[in-house]
Amino acid sequence: SKPAKAVKDVVGAAAEKVAEVLTPDVPGAPGSVPPTVEEPTAPRDPLPPKAEQGAPETRTPTGAETGAQTTTNGQQGRFLTTAQGARLRDTDHSLKAGPRGPVLLQDHHLREKITHFDHERIPERVVHARGAGAHGVFESYGTAEEITKAGFLAKGRKTDVFVRFSTVLGSRGSADTVRDTRGFATKFYTDEGTFDLVGNNIPVFFIQDAIKFPDIIHAGKPHPDREIPQAQSAHDTFWDFVSLHTEAQHHTMWNMSDRGIPRSYRMMEGFGVHTFRLVNAGGETVLAKFHWKPKLGVHSLTWEEAQLLGGIDPDFHRRDLYDAIEAGAYPEWELGVQVFPDTPEETFAGIDLLDPTKIVPEELASVQPLGRLTLNRTPTNFFAETEQVAFHVGHLPPGIDVTNDPLLQGRLFSYVDTQITRLAGPNFSQIPINRPHAPVNDMLRDGFHQQAVHAGVAPYRPNSLDGGNPFPAGDKDNAFVDVPVTVAEAPKVRQNPASFDDHFSQVRLFWQSMSPVEKEHIIRAYTFELAKCYHQAIKERQLQCLANIDPVLCAQVATGLGLPAPEPTVPLAEVAPSPALSQLGKEWPSDGRTVGIVVDPDAGPDNIAQLRGAVFAAGMVPLLIAPHGGTVAGVPVQRTFATARSVEFDVLLLAAAPAPAADAIPARDAKAGAANTATVDPRVLLLVDECWRHAKAIGAWGGGVTVLEQSGRAGSPGVVTGDSWSEVFTAVERLLTNHRVWERFAVSVA
Ligand code: HDE
């Protein structure tokens, strides 16, 4: 019987109307009797949008209506309201006792607006505070079925993902291009539960045991007294730590290599770092390491570019990611695994798979491709998505399990713990970006910011009140089952296995796998960083570490510091170089690269539209650079000489030789008393100079050849001239497949 009928008898027809509204005969509606359903909890879908939550209508400056906008930008709905939905007439004036009078405490809108604003910031991540995210899709090749039962890796499966890239040390507002490790965290919204692969762009970590994590981060973060330097490892406490905890030397050399200053998030590898245990449908296990391989190859900035970008465009990596996605140059990676037999020793080729400071060279265990990740959508709201996303290494689907790596074990505790402070309570998995795409039917209840309206009375089991729900999944229901690994009988100790003691041989392996120019960059990075330290003892201690890695490296850095090079204190390991570690020697697609084109509105040329079309057709982004804004031959100018800097471009094309403009800074050869003979705007000469120094391809035709002549760079490697734009562009495009004109860098080591 409907409760509405009983109400009718007592208070009549009017009450019936009210009761009908309150208790419609719809299961789950407010006031209806909860049916006995299989899932006693209400699903955690977002509340449906309110009917009036459309986008605001657009109005012309005169107030004339131009029709409703269909955009999702801005607040939804036509009228401004309070948080409680009351429409507002005015949001620009607080309520006062007369126009000149004091503001009244009763102004609810004022207090609500300012109070909400006062609480807009949440604590930034204690590490990886600076980041950028994107949505995408993971398509599985189905090659993993023999090694894991994870459903999202079955053939042809498509899974939604959200990826967040980050730096480690800097605060939320720090520059993107600093020398640092990059985070590469992927949330796979699989239909068997969320899988978070929370990795880095470096395959090893600083420390072997999570208990040291607060220590390495305290050492890397700004000094506690003056809070400098921001987002830098070039300071005493960092080098103090890594020279005392020599297990950090391997990761540190990756940081000092070009891997520490990526050209783009799109051009980084990613690594799960730890060894995971995979289990297939038959219960068989293997050990595995996850790798992300970028379609565009692994490429880096030069150190000078990275430094300049810190001032010129601190958002360089963010911008690059968003621009590429919005231009349709969707970044892609292939997910792969190195697979090892799950033996009791948990080693492969003598390498301890539980030691997160060691790699297994790809030449010993190749990376087997599992599927392709494509990032195809930028976030709608940075805070809601990129800032509130919460990753956890323990978010694993059936088929992927952890190992005893002591670094991984500590992480399993840390990630949920940090979210409780950062996202203010235990219900962060209900925030839209964190909601699983698999049905959730837990018995977790209440807590700050609870979004679900849980029906039922028995969030415990077994129960006899909510129809016995929920039930544990049986053997055939694809539950997550912890692999029943045997735990060796052993004394309780605070100790590492002896195999963790080798801190230098793999650093030497990395060093010896580098090409001469990469070695040169490593030498310069160590020299720069250590020269920024004040304490002599720290420099000397780090030089001792370098001596134990390679005497040539040590001698070069010692010379730069003006210190004697110490002798090694450990035998130098015989290592076989791993060519896969070098970034050079291959050809890569140039999708999404930026082409700067210098033109002159007065001197043309007119074929700019054609050139621009060819750059787009090659999957790259042309940026027209002219003395001032406007258009050239009908093409809009994107950069003026005041806003263009070379670090934004991957290659430079010179189509004209613009004369010095009145607002130009003095020419570079304008020494006191010397005549300035340059007829080209000095800012164009600076563009050429920097592109040349950063080993970028430069092309010129027509008037552009004059620029090259005045720059003194004509005829050097990677500087191309020709009769037509198409000839020059083809040659420059070819050079770009190697990323840089490597022979332009001076090299002092073999
Ligand atoms: Fe993290 N790490 N980490 N880390 N980590 C965090 O979690 C931690 C480690 C990594 O974009 C924090 O939500 C400990 C290795 C990434 O949101 C925190 C240890 C690797 C991100 C935390 C490690 C990572 C984090 C801070 C030592 C590569 C950013 C905010 C055992 C495999 C994820 C947060 C994002 C973030 C703890 C070591 C990667 C504090 C205790 C190794 C990419 O929980």
Topology match between the domains 505-581 and 594-744: no
> Which residue, by CA, sits nearest to atom 44 of ligand 1?
415
Model confidence at 74: pLDDT above 80: no
Residue 199: CB within 6 Å of ligand 1?
yes
Say which range, 60-69, 100-109, 137-146, 527-536, has the weakest mean pLDDT: 60-69
Under 8 Å CB-to-CB from 498, ≥6 apart: which residues? none
Q: Tell me: the pLDDT tens digits for 419-466?
A: 999 999 999 999 999 999 999 999 999 999 999 999 999 999 999 999
Contact (CB, 8 A) for 696 and 739? no
The alpha helices in 694-724, defined as continuous H runs, are: 704-711
Residue 500: CB within 6 Å of ligand 1?
no
Assign 33 a pLDDT band (cuts: 50, 70, 90): very low
Model confidence at 228: pLDDT above 90: yes
* Numbers of helices and strands, H then E, in the chain: 17, 22
Pick from 698, 655, 644: which is nearest to 680 by CA? 655
Q: Is 415 annotated as a binding residue?
A: yes
- In CATH, what class is 505-581? mainly alpha
State in Å: Cα 127 to ligand 1 middle.
7
Residue 198: CB within 6 Å of ligand 1?
yes
User: What is the fold, at CATH topology level, of the domain defined by 131-211+239-434?
Assistant: Catalase HpII,  Chain A, domain 1 (2.40.180)
650, 689, 717, 746 from 696: Cα distances, Å: 6, 10, 10, 14
Q: Is 111 annotated as a binding residue?
A: no
> Structure tokens of 140?
């599985």
Q: Where are the beta strands (DSSP E) in 353-466?
A: 368-377, 400-401
Which pLDDT score is estimated for 36? 40
Q: Is 265 annotated as a binding residue?
A: no
Pick from 439, 421, 423: which is nearest to 431 by CA? 423
Please enumerate, as own/partner, the contacts of 451-455 that have beta carbons within 8 Å and a separation of 24 or more. Answer: 451/44, 451/427, 452/41, 452/42, 452/43, 452/44, 453/42, 454/40, 454/41, 454/42, 455/28, 455/34, 455/40, 455/41, 455/42
* CATH architecture for residues 594-744: 3-Layer(aba) Sandwich (3.40)
Under 8 Å CB-to-CB from 307, ≥6 apart: which residues? 177
Residue 338: CB within 6 Å of ligand 1?
no
Residue 200: CB within 6 Å of ligand 1?
yes
Model confidence at 72: pLDDT above 90: no
Model confidence at 708: pLDDT above 50: yes
Residues taking part in catalysis: 128, 200
State in Å: Cα 155 to ligand 1 middle.
31
* Percent of the chain with pLDDT strictly greater than 70: 88
Q: Is 259 annotated as a binding residue?
A: no
State in Å: Cα 230 to ligand 1 middle.
19
Nearest ligand 1 atom to alpha carbon 184: 43
State in Å: Cα 415 to ligand 1 middle.
7
State in Å: Cα 746 to ligand 1 middle.
38
Contact (CB, 8 A) for 661 and 627? yes
State in Å: Cα 556 to ligand 1 middle.
34
Nearest ligand 1 atom to alpha carbon 272: 32
Which of 198, 208, 276 should be mutated for ligand 1, with most atoms under 8 A from CB?
198
Say which range, 30-39, 215-224, 247-256, 568-577, has the weakest mean pLDDT: 30-39
Q: Is 422 annotated as a binding residue?
A: yes
Residues 548, 505: Cα–Cα separation, whole Å: 9
The alpha helices in 581-724, defined as continuous H runs, are: 608-617, 682-693, 704-711
Per-chain mean pLDDT for the chain: 89
> Which residue, by CA, sits nearest to atom 11 of ligand 1?
164
Q: Where are the beta strands (DSSP E) in 543-665?
A: 594-598, 621-626, 631-632, 635-636, 639-640, 651-654
- Give the start-to-end residue ranges of the domains of the chain: 131-211+239-434, 505-581, 594-744
For the ranges 24-38, 66-80, 139-153, the one whose mean pLDDT is highest: 139-153
Residues 23, 30: Cα–Cα separation, whole Å: 7
Residues 493, 709: Cα–Cα separation, whole Å: 70
Which pLDDT score is estimated for 163? 98
Assign 410 a pLDDT band (cuts: 50, 70, 90): very high
Residue 127: CB within 6 Å of ligand 1?
yes
Model confidence at 242: pLDDT above 50: yes
Which amino acid, one-letter code, is at 418?
T
Residue 411: CB within 6 Å of ligand 1?
yes
Q: Tell me: the pLDDT tens digits for 498-511?
A: 999 999 999 999 99
Compute the average pLDDT of residues 169-198.
98
